[in-house]
């Protein structure tokens, strides 16, 4: 082991220990330090994966899909390194390796399972050659940081072209993702058959209108949500590939989401202990990845049944018996899916929305105007109060007011802890809390401190 790698790992580990002692989460700093000392740290440590490196990228569902893949791999007895906290740029990923490995090179592991920020993907694969790349979906997200979506996708496409031995797992229902199957790499697709909730039209129609390959109009038979659905190009004939792994008879309930899965002529029953239709996509992606890596499908299903959401991925809390659900929101597609969950829930509820505009949230918050808050104006939904918080609380209140929510039901208080306290005093059957990335941790912290826990 080169001395500089040794020093980098040691220094990274020291920083990680120190920041834990000081009460910081320290999800990127140790990696920063290690990379600064030795820029080849990532490359060298990733080579210690005995069986392979799995990268998960895309706009939404990266963290959940990544955690699910790690769960099915560890459930099958493999040792796994994972960047758990959603720290998905190079320093965050280096942190995962520094923490998960020792200075001694004999300290190896079976798999590295890493979620990678879309914009960081090309630089990441220069360092780490993945055996398997999973792409969840592509939505417009935080344009101020990434430039436009088309560009991001084309960078990923070019990066993949340089990886002839990498296998792909792609979402067949998203034309922006499925187009990557044309690169010629060995590809497995996952998808979802029509179910009770398919739509004839889609709000986020811009991405869905034109073929990513030839630019002609795309024709849709139906949409799952956003541009996900059954599509066919009127120009070049590009169409949804037949997925080898397909979910069907999907049902999204309050405590559980279920579907049947067809894989290689067999029928499996998938049940997830979480709400939200979009989580099925994450599970199908993980299932497809597991099957590609040679895992027994029955064992994959068993392990997914016990999946526990991470912080802010529809996490449950209880306060005096009242259920509280916390979910991360970061772009219109994901926000609309979060709204779908609370719209489907019976009973009275409070809604808490915390919007920050730090770099990790996206400094431009105008995407809030692309979220379908108009749906919340329906007076029969049983929503008692809308509590807006975070650095842009007032702006969120403006958005709700213009969506048609009566201003008397809206409150704006930038201080997160105060707003959480206020929310906890509510008398509704349940409360739904939605927060952007940097508003999530303080919200979670306040909830953990003030409630009976999970």
Partner 1 sequence: MMLAIYHLYPDLLNLYGDRGNIIAFRRRCEWRGIPVQVREINLGERIDFSDADFLFFGGGSDREQDLMAEDLADRKDNLRKAFEDGLVTLAICGGYQLLGRYYRTLSGQVIPGLNLLDFYTLAGTTRLIGNVAVEIPLPGRMVRVSGFENHSGQTFLGEIKPFGRVLSGHGNNGSDATEGVRYKNVFCSYMHGPLLPKNPALTDYFIQLALERRGRDGFLAPLDNGFEEAANRVMLSRLKVL
Sign of torsion over alpha carbons 287, 292, 293, 299: positive
Instruction: Pick one of 398, 422, 428, 445: the residue that binds partner 1 (CB under 8 A).
Output: 398
Residue-wise over 35-74: b if at least 16 C-beta within 10 A, else e? bebbeebbebbbebbebbbbbbbbbbbbbbbbbbbbbbbb
Q: Which of 82/365 has CB closer to partner 1?
A: 365
Matching residue, tokens 């709204």 = 339
Q: Closest CB to partner 1 among 205 and 418?
A: 205
Choices 115-123, 202-210, 221-229, 265-273; region in contact with partner 1 by CB under 8 A: 202-210
Identify whether the C-beta of residue 382 lies closer than 8 Å to the C-beta of residue 349. Answer: yes
- Residue 164 phi/psi, 5-degree rounding, is -60, -25
Does position 378 bind partner 1 by CB under 8 A? no
For partner 1, the binding residue among 164, 379, 407, 453 (CB under 8 A) is: 407
Query: Using the rule CB under 8 A, is 406 a contact of partner 1?
Result: no
- Alpha-carbon gap, residue 297 to 299, rounded angstroms: 5
330 touches partner 1 by CB under 8 A? no
Q: Helix, strand or coil for residue 211?
A: coil
Q: Does 209 bind partner 1 (CB under 8 A)?
A: yes
User: Considering only residues 154, 366, 418, 448, which one is a binding residue for partner 1 as defined by CB under 8 A?
Assistant: 366
Q: Binders of partner 1 among 92-151, rule CB under 8 A?
A: 143-144, 147-148, 150
**CB closer to partner 1 out of 40 and 407:** 407
Pick from 36, 129, 401, 409 the residue near partner 1 by CB under 8 A: 401
Which of the stretches 229-237, 246-254, 366-374, 424-432 binds partner 1 when contact is defined by CB under 8 A?
366-374
Q: Annotated active-site positions, please?
A: 364
Instruction: Decide: residue 162, CB within 10 A, 0-12 exposed, 13-18 middle, 19+ buried.
Output: exposed
- Taking the complex as a whole, the smallest distance from the CB of residue 149 to partner 1 amounts, in Å, to 8
Give the Å distances, CA to CA, from 260 to 139, 221, 248, 302: 26, 22, 5, 14
Rounded CA-CA distance 173/198 in Å is: 12
Q: How many positions of this chain bind partner 1 (CB under 8 A)?
A: 32
Among residues 20, 308, 363, 421, the one that binds partner 1 under rule CB under 8 A: 363
* Dihedral, CA of residue 75, residue 57, residue 177 and residue 171, to nearest 10: 10
Q: How far is the CB of 148 from partner 1 (least distance, A)?
A: 5
Cα dihedral 409, 415, 420, 426, rounded to 10, equals -30
Q: What is the DSSP string of 190-207?
A: EEE---TT-BSS-SS-HH
205 lies in the site for partner 1, by CB under 8 A: yes
Q: Is 298 in the site for partner 1 (CB under 8 A)?
A: no
Applying CB under 8 A, the residues found at the interface with partner 1 are: 143-144, 147-148, 150, 205-206, 209, 215, 363-370, 391-392, 394-395, 397-399, 401-404, 407, 410, 412, 414
């Amino acid at each position: 082991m080169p001395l500089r790698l040794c020093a980098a790992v040691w220094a990274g580990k020291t920083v990680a220990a120190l920041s834990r002692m000081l009460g910081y989460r320290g999800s990127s700093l140790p990696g920063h330090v290690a990379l600064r000392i030795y820029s080849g740290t990532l490359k060298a440590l990733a080579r210690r994966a005995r069986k392979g490196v799995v990268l998960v990228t895309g706009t939404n569902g990266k963290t959940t899909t990544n955690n699910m893949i790690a769960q099915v791999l560890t459930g099958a007895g493999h040792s796994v390194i994972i960047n758990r906290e959603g720290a998905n740029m190079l320093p965050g990923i280096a942190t995962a390796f520094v923490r998960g490995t020792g200075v001694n090179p004999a300290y190896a592991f079976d798999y590295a399972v890493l979620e990678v920020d879309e914009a960081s993907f090309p630089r990441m694969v220069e360092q780490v050659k993945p055996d398997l790349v999973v792409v969840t979906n592509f939505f417009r997200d935080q344009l101020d940081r990434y430039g436009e979506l088309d560009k991001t996708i084309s960078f990923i496409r070019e990066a993949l072209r340089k990886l002839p031995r990498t296998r792909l797992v792609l979402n067949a229902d998203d034309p922006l993702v499925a187009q990557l199957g044309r690169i010629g790499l060995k590809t497995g697709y996952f998808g979802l058959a029509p179910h009770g909730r398919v739509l004839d039209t889609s709000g986020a129609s811009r991405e869905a209108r034109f073929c990513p390959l030839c630019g002609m109009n795309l024709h849709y038979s139906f949409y799952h949500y956003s541009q996900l659905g059954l599509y066919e190009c009127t120009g070049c004939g590009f169409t949804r590939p037949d997925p080898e792994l397909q979910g069907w008879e999907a049902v999204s309930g309050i405590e559980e989401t279920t579907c049947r899965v067809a894989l290689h002529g067999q029928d499996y029953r998938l049940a997830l202990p979480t709400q939200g239709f979009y989580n099925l996509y994450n599970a199908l992606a993980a299932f497809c990845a597991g099957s590609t890596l040679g895992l027994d499908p029955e064992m994959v299903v068993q392990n997914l049944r016990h999946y526990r959401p991470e912080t802010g991925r529809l996490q449950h809390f209880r306060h005096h018996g009242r259920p509280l659900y916390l979910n991360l929101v970061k772009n219109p597609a994901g926000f609309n899916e979060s709204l779908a969950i609370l719209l489907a829930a019976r009973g009275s509820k409070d809604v808490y929305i915390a919007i920050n505009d730090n770099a990790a949230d996206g400094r431009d918050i105008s995407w809030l105007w692309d979220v379908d808050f108009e749906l919340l104006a329906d007076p029969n939904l049983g929503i008692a109060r809308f509590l807006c918080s975070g650095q842009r609380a007032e702006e969120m209140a403006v958005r709700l007011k213009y969506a048609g929510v009566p201003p008397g039901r809206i409150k704006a208080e930038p201080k997160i802890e105060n707003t959480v306290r206020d929310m906890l005093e509510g008398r509704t059957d349940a409360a739904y809390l939605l927060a952007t990335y940097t508003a999530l941790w303080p919200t979670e912290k306040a909830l953990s401190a003030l409630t009976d826990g999970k």
